[in-house]
Amino acid sequence: MNNDRDDRQHILGDLLAWVRQNESAGMEWFLDEGSAPVAETSTESVVEPSPKPSPEPDDPFLEICTQFIAQTLPLIESQPSPRPTGPASADKASLLAALKDEVLPCTACSLHETRNSTVFGAGNPDADVVFVGEAPGRDEDIQGEPFVGRSGKLLTKIMSAIGYGRDDVFICNILKCRPPNNRDPQADEVAACEPHLKRQLAILNPRVICCLGRVAAQTLLGTNVSLKRLRETVHFYEGIPVMATYHPAALLRNPNWKRETWNDVRKMRALVDALKSGES
Ligand code: URA
């Protein structure tokens, strides 16, 4: 019993240290036009994770974050179906590659008729975090990679602000093919594509899934609850904790949502770290 308490104290101590160290990294990102500082050597498409900034001790968010972790860890521990064991880390890359070969020629819905590319997803097969967006847009359809357009560049900066490079995480979408004119995914398209995502997430078995935007969150969680409410707490997909935040495209339209997004992703990063440190 006491050991559990000591462990929890230890995790919260680590978490507070991390949040303090990273606190000021996000400020410029959400207050200026909207980007975490880009390392001098980086190009447009390569953003280095932010260096650790100096501590910023008086942030009320520290308390919020600590409470979030203190409430969320017991919730995760009490889940009737815990996160599955998943495949061995060493096997994930080949399993994903085999799945990708199966998914690329998919003709399960009519979107294959208009696509240039099937956008399977990309990143680290053994990632702690999987970001799930809605569907490929024009740039993604052309390049065959997720989140490479304007909103993708912002996503790269959001990830950088919490210390992740694109190769640290895995990024994919609910739909693997672009809906014409970027319209919302239709129910039959989601139903046809869902088995791909399900198998993908079973292989990746991340510690946390981060849904980008209402459509991704509602679809993955099978709910009509608003994004505002979904952002308030952690949810579960096949035993894996799920958090939701704004879609980067929505942030480009509404920069005043960046501060909330910054808080969401800091909480998400803190949760990942707390879960990891609880396992070691
Ligand atoms: N928007 C998405 O939801 N996904 C992408 O891959 C690109 C833009």
Task: Taking the CA atoms of 87, 109, 191 and 176 in sequence, report the sign of the dihedral they define.
Answer: positive
* 135 CA to centre of ligand 1 in angstroms: 5
Query: Ligand 1 atom closest to Cα of 133?
Result: 3
* Pairwise CA distance, residues 54 & 103, whole Å: 45
Range of the domain at 187: 5-279
* 134 CA to centre of ligand 1 in angstroms: 6
Query: Ligand 1 atom closest to Cα of 247?
Result: 3
Residue pair 172/146 in contact (Cβ under 8 Å)? The answer is yes
* 276 CA to centre of ligand 1 in angstroms: 28
How many CB atoms are closer than 10 A to CB 186?
14
DSSP string, 145-157: SSS-SHHHHHHHH
65 or 221: whose pLDDT is higher?
Answer: 221
Residue-level pLDDT at 61: 79
Residue-level pLDDT at 141: 98
Ligand 1 site-directed mutation target among 151, 211, 247, 253, most atoms within 8 Å of CB: 151
* 49 CA to centre of ligand 1 in angstroms: 21
Kind of pairing between the strands at 129-133 and 170-173:
parallel
CB-defined site of ligand 1, < 6 Å = 133-137, 140, 146-147, 149, 151-152, 173, 249
* 6 CA to centre of ligand 1 in angstroms: 42
Query: Ligand 1 atom closest to Cα of 174?
Result: 3
Tell me the average pLDDT of the chain: 86
Q: State what percent of residues in the chain have pLDDT above 90.
A: 73
Residue pair 261/245 in contact (Cβ under 8 Å)? The answer is yes
Residue-level pLDDT at 34: 44
Ligand 1 site-directed mutation target among 139, 140, 177, most atoms within 8 Å of CB: 140
* 264 CA to centre of ligand 1 in angstroms: 19
* Helix spans in the chain (H): 2-22, 25-31, 61-77, 89-103, 138-143, 150-161, 187-204, 214-221, 227-230, 248-253, 258-279
Q: What's the total number of domains in the chain?
A: 1
Q: State what percent of residues in the chain have pLDDT above 70.
A: 79
Write out pLDDT tens, residues 181-216: 999 999 999 999 999 999 999 999 999 999 999 999
* 136 CA to centre of ligand 1 in angstroms: 5
CATH number, domain containing residue 232: 3.40.470.10
* Mean pLDDT, residues 97-125: 98
* Pairwise CA distance, residues 270 & 164, whole Å: 12
* Pairwise CA distance, residues 161 & 158, whole Å: 5
* 52 CA to centre of ligand 1 in angstroms: 29
How many CB atoms are closer than 10 A to CB 279?
7
Residue-level pLDDT at 278: 81
Write out pLDDT tens, residues 20-52: 555 555 555 554 444 443 433 333 444 556 543
Q: What are 170's strand-pairing partners?
A: 123, 130
The whole-model pTM stands at: 0.85
Ligand 1 site-directed mutation target among 147, 166, 177, most atoms within 8 Å of CB: 147
Q: Amino acid identity, residue 174?
A: I
| Alpha-carbon radius of gyration of the chain | 18
